[in-house]
Structure 1
Amino acid sequence: MAITPTFSARPRVLVVGGGYVGLYTAFNLQKKIAKSGGIVTLVDPLPYMTYQPFLPEVAGGNIEARHAVVSHRKHLKQTELIQGSVTAIDHENRKAVVAPADGGEPFELTYHDVVVAAGAITRTFPIKGLAESGIGLKTIEEAVALRNQVLSLIEQASTETDPAVRKRALTFVVVGGGFAGIETIAELEDMARAAVKLNNRVEQSELRFVLVEAMGRIMPEVTEKQAVWVVEHLRSRGVEVLLNTSLDNAEESNLKLINLPDKSVAQEFDADTLIWTAGVMANPMVRSTDFPIEPRGRVSVNVNLQVNGEFGVIPNAWAAGDVAAVPDVTGGLPDGTCVPNAQHALRQAKRLAKNLWASRFNKPLKGYKHKNLGAVAGFGEWQGVAKIMGIQLKGPLAWLAHRGYHGLAMPTVERKFRVIMDWFVTMLAGRDLAQLENLQAPRTTFVAAATPKSKPAAAAPAPAAEAKTEEKNGAKEDAAAK
């Protein structure tokens, strides 16, 4: 793959990853770097940034999928964009290896500064059958597929006469009781019940939703009292909430759950839908760099968001977001680092861009400091929970706080407008329950129409004796007619 000659000779700020940190860092630096004679280059496998807090609502039919993503090319007009993955970084020689998303030959990029913003990926465990039976909720594609799967299974169950197959299709399981898991099961439960109302061949009582959480409580970001309220709320809606429970096996979609810590059998049942939201981990690509990595697999950085090694700051290397162990001077995780969430990522990106620019002129850098404002979560229509600067909310007020916060946090004005319009339309017309089929093989119908149909085989000629008999019969019929 050839890089545009106009850009290739410029001093490059290489941004690895186009999520929250990558998008905002590139956006805040592109004009300044361009005016100074350099270029910002952003490398990401996808041409857009996904606002992940909206994925449960996309899966639940509240938000149009395209409205939850932000186009890199539309908003990074002075940034060199490369669709691919950085597979290795040799910072000592200021080189990175890029594998194009189209499967082309990997190539090297030289740079002056590098910003590691590769984000996080889904964290899983070695559970038999999980890879074959499960689906995550980390990408917009997964959210769309999950929405279609739930609606499709309800439709399939409506014409199924085998009770076991029908029960399996209408059982939906979410593993992980964090914000993503709770919001996902609540949104899907709302959508499924709305779909069943329109289908007189399926009863509401046939729907089964199961939440599996290994800890003794859910949602560690809120208070114990709020967590208990959420469990009671979900159970009042018919959701089975299983605490201190773990998924042990998922082979052939037969789920085996065990109690913790004694690992005794808890339940065993079949389910066609298994959603995994049990945590994330730093993108493992950082292990293919010469940067210091801390025990949790994140890049070690200081409060200025500079990569920090055993012998101090590593020049021209920066990192932030889920892939970096950013010190939280206000508290944070038990290890003293920032909680990996969008709230921190957006603010870290802005601080990183300012510090990187200041470093060009040997100006003092400012440490990242942000006290977590709290957490908000929505549980479907007019229900939610929130903890904002010590104030605890639940029900409709928390739901409004959730929408207000994320509506403002969504990047770019045009995307905010689209999402808010989606919410208004949903309030007036209900969730979008249209299922899209054949997304995996969209050419199926066209191929069938364009493929020449084989002609039916010609009938074998009649034997001579039969032919003569037919001629005589024909002659007699003609004579009779006269």
Structure 2
Amino acid sequence: MNDVTRPRILVVGAGFAGVECVRRLERKLAPDEADVTLVTPFAYQLYLPLLPQVASGVLTPQSIAVSLRRSKKYRTRIIPGGAIGVDLKSKVCVVRTITDKIVNERYDYIVLAPGSVTRTFDIPGLTEHAFGMKTLAEAAYIRDHVISQLDLADASDDPAERASRLQFVVVGGGYAGTETAACLQKLTHAAVKRYPRIDPSLIKWHLIDIAPKLMPEMGDKLGRSAMEILARRGIDVSLGVSIAKAGPEEVTFTDGRVVPTRTLIWTAGVVASPLIATLGAETVRGRLAVNAEMTLPGQDGVFALGDSAAVPDRAKDDENAICPPTAQHAMRQGKHVADNVIATLRGKPLTPYEHKDLGLVVDLGGTDAVSKPLGIELRGIPAQFAARGYHWMALRTNVAKVRVATNWTLNALAGDDFVRTGFQARKAARLKDFEFTDAYLTPEQVRAHVEGADREE
């Protein structure tokens, strides 16, 4: 085939799903069989489950950002930017590059794996004053911010300022919130020993969630075990509670409590990327409604997977069940979608996706963890071994595995360091500054843009 007739496969998103799809396409397709293009603002795959350990300084940012260009066999073309709209009729994806240039990328087959963004609510002051825990930049920024609060509290003689700088609030009792609170509390507990002017009892961490249970997917016993670990460390866990409003120096809970704080970390769930809304297609709780083969019904050559797709969970008895937005599903879906794209190219039948959940692991830092691999409930060191073993095995390259193992070993032997890197030296940044959710087009804007570009051509 020549360049003109070669099918164009466009993959949107470099998360677990998108990268696994691209890698499989590269391995299984002959070089002259199709052109593969990947749209992503960053040329790395982020191992998201370990972000709390980056925020707490156990791991360096580079160790969980796996370069997409390390492989010598890598032949995928990367467009450095984000997809902000898709015109299914014209088979065009509208991309905003990292230099803010708008380009139209035509495709024959599109794989939509744009992932998810932090779920927010209409709470006064939330997006202006809260931090998220969804990107590498946020994790690095939060680490600087937390250490700076200790520095500023140590330098201040104002009791009110000290109180607000030494209290920290994390919203979200899922895995991300629980691990974030646990890991950062461990960091401040170790750091305060280097601040002789700070009374350790003034440092308070709050973990709140509107749900009645902490990490309900882990089951009652392991949920209680996690609660006990957090309580032992002095973390105040409040369930059935959320945020009523947020300000620059205090947060008001829905139960009426007002907590002086300069640190509000919001991890109360995720929603599908706003890109999905630009398609004008059917959704299930905001996720694109696809079939078990992960294709969009009624559309030619459109595949969707990962956090942004409502993929039927055939491993469960409930016919309405959809796969949860977890890394293990995304990775397996990526490989499966690649096989289905190749099957489509070669005129072969597609196969449905099915995967039984392997279990859940929660790393609470140090020797504390709760895990449920293959339904087996573990606590303490065995759970920590299972959690870190699972994450280590899931890292895609040997270089990443060596970096992470080295970081873990150094932290265990030498302890934490408390260096601020200067990410927040110039100006404050909050939730609204990291995920760029206002960059997407409406379906009408996408269509108008594509039609305008067609007329110019």
Q: 1:89: Cα distance to partner? A: 1.4
Alpha-carbon distance between aligned partners in 1 of 2:426 and 2:153, rounded to the nearest angstrom: 22
CA RMSD of aligned residues (A): 1.9
Residue 125 (structure 1) aligned to one of 109, 121, 127: 121
Match for 1:301 among 267, 290, 307?
Answer: 290
Secondary structure of 1:103's partner? coil
Q: Is the 8 A contact 1:121 1:282 kept in 2?
A: yes
SS in 1 for 2:300: strand
Tell me the residue number matched to 1:403.
388
Unmatched tracts of structure 2, length 5 or more: 428-457
**Is the partner of 2:176 in helix, strand or coil?**
helix
Cα distance in 2 for residues equivalent to 1:220 and 1:8: 53
Q: Structure 1: where are the runs of 5+ without partners?
A: 1-5, 260-264, 443-482
AA aligned opposite 2:36: V
Q: Tell me the secondary structure at the aligned position of residue 73 of structure 1.
A: coil
Kept in 2, the 8 Å contact 1:283–1:323? The answer is yes
CA gap of 1:271–1:7, structure 2 versus 1, over 3 A, is farther
TM-score (norm 2): 0.89
Q: Quick one: distance in 1 between partners of 2:79 and 2:291?
A: 29
* Counterpart code for 2:263: T
SS of the residue 1:177 aligns to: coil
Structure 2: distance between partners of 1:407 and 1:285: 31
2:358 is equivalent to residue 373 of structure 1: yes
Pairing partner for 1:115 from 104, 108, 111: 111
Counterpart check, 1:274 vs 2:270: no
Relative contact order, higher structure (CA 8 A, sep 6+): 2
Aligned length: 425
Shift of 1:31: 4.7
| Counterpart code for 1:39 | D
Partner of 1:241: 237
1:315-359: CA deviations, max 9, x gaps? Answer: 211111000000101129894000111010001101111111122
> 1:102 maps to which residue?
99
Report the alpha carbon displacement of residue 32 of structure 1 after superposing the two structures with TM: 4.1
Q: Contact 2:248/2:262 (CA < 8 Å) preserved in 1?
A: no
* Structure 1 residues 32 and 321: alpha-carbon distance in aligned structure 2, compared to 1, 3 A threshold: same
Question: Identity of paired residues, percent?
Answer: 38
State yes or no: 1:345 paired with 2:330: yes
The 5 A counterparts of 1:60-459 are: 60-75=56-71, 77-104=74-101, 106-259=102-255, 265=256, 267-290=257-280, 292-309=281-298, 314-331=299-316, 335-437=320-422, 439-441=424-426
Could you tell me how far 1:389 is from its partner in structure 2? 1.5
Taking the TM superposition and a 5 Å limit, the aligned residue runs for 1:31-50 are 31-33=27-29, 35-50=31-46
Q: 1:85–1:437: structure 2 CA closer, same or farther, 3 Å change rule?
A: closer
Q: Which has the larger radius of gyration?
A: 1
| Distance of 2:317 and 2:418 partners within structure 1 | 40
Offset at residue 438 of structure 1 (A): 5.2
Q: Tell me how far 1:232 sits from its aligned partner.
A: 1.9
1:225 and 1:37 map into 2 onto residues whose CA distance is 52
- For 2:259 and 2:170, the matched residues in 1 are separated by 14
Where 2:315 maps in the other structure, the secondary structure is coil
Distance 1:295 1:153, change over 3 A: same
**In 2, distance between residues paired with 1:293 and 1:412?**
37
How has the CA–CA distance of structure 1 residues 161 and 409 changed in structure 2, closer, same or farther, with 3 Å as cutoff?
same
1:53-73, Cα deviation, whole Å (9 max, x unpaired): 010000011101111111223
Partner of 2:431: none
- TM-score, with structure 1 as normaliser: 0.85
Rounded to whole Å, the distance in 1 between the matches of 2:49 and 2:234 is 24
Rounded Cα–Cα distance in structure 2 between residues aligned with 1:440 and 1:40 = 40
Residue 10 of structure 2 aligns to which amino acid in structure 1?
L
User: Is the 1:133–1:253 Cα contact (8 Å) retained in structure 2?
Assistant: no
- Partners of 1:418 and 1:335 in 2: CA distance: 41
